Amino acid sequence: MLPTIAWKDDKVIMIDQRKLPLEEIYVECRDEDQVAEAIEKMVIRGAPAIGVAAAFGVALGVSRVAPDENLEWKFNQVCRRLARTRPTARNLFWALEKMRMVFEETKQLSLNDLRERLIREALAIEEEDVETNKRIGMFGRTLIKDGDSVLTHCNAGALATAGYGTAIGVIRAAFEEGKKIQVFVDETRPFLQGARLTVWELDKLGIPMTLITDNMAGWLMKKGEIQLVITGADRIARNGDAANKIGTYSLAVLARYHGLPFYVAAPLNTFDFSLPEGAEIPIEERSSQEIREVGGCLITLPHIPVRNPAFDVVPAKFITAIISERGIARPPYTKSLAAWRRETRAKKGKKSR
């Protein structure tokens, strides 16, 4: 599969995910504003992919600093513009923090050297994401048995990351191991990431799947056709509460009722250990047009009020296990995630010295 996002000839190239699965069109971004708009308009989406895009956006912004511009002011402007794009995705802010650390360490260098250093850091973030996802897949595949049918929500595959995927990475790793599995993909209203993106990915990978509407999941669970649920996450609080695409909470409740395991797969940079619980995770509200229209066609009365929260939060008590590149954490998460928290703090401390 082609990469979700890439740096080429001082431009950021990304596949336009709004056009999939019927068209494969690539968008070129030449400055940070174009990257920011691509994130806001869902040309690129998925928390890890957004983080990579933000890192590339910073590199682009600094690359275009004029000789008479205030470098520090410009850098801050670039970061502020990118930070406004998607408030829920923790990976976005993690990537901006990493780029800021490099900037602070190297801002005394020549503009060209600083530019090259920021580009290298953004490329390292991209490469690290792919390797991280493969490790998540390696750990998570042990949770899927031969013959299982897995339900997944939204898209947490290669398109949502720099490559390979988180939740889909787990499914992919189990399939590559030789396990005979079946995937149920729900549509994921209102943006249809499941129907448009996850189906496209699984088809390319040759993984058996069946597309269902969001409101079919409970009935299929009752009939015994689903053995487990696995999703990604956009931000995870210190207690294990996990924000993900709207509709994830409903699936977690259904899984609990039917006695099915519910797993969350996410890299450590999705965890926000500064937040004690999920109630503090900011939830993005998106345009009402995403509800009123499908594929640009109006499907309801144009004047009625609409709510469009893009995410919900799954309480930790509904999550059977959380998979990261460090392994598998189980309840109580206040204890099992503590080691991961210490590790991230130790890494941050080393880099700040």
* Residue 18 CA from chain centroid, whole number: 16
Evaluate whether 113 touches 192 at the Cβ level (below 8 Å): no
Select from 177, 175, 326, 194 the least CA-distant residue to 251.
194
Structure tokens at 199: 């189906």
Residues with Cβ within 8 Å of 281's Cβ and at least 6 positions away in sequence, in order, are: 88, 235, 237, 241, 243, 272, 275, 311, 313
The answer to whether residue 186 is catalytic is no
Catalytic residue, from 214, 234, 241, 312: name it: 234
| Cα 193 from Cα 228, distance rounded (Å) | 20
Evaluate whether 129 touches 51 at the Cβ level (below 8 Å): yes
| Cα 142 from Cα 97, distance rounded (Å) | 33
H/E stretch holding 272: strand 271-272
Residue whose structure tokens are 């990118």: 82
Structure tokens at 300: 């309801």
Evaluate whether 232 touches 167 at the Cβ level (below 8 Å): yes
Q: What single-letter amino acid sits at 208?
A: P
| Cα 221 from Cα 224, distance rounded (Å) | 5
Length of the chain in residues, anyone?
A: 353
Evaluate whether 278 touches 209 at the Cβ level (below 8 Å): no
Residues in a beta bridge with 311: 245
- Neighbour count for residue 242 (Cβ, 10 Å): 31
Give the residue numbers annotated as catalytic, written as ranges: 234
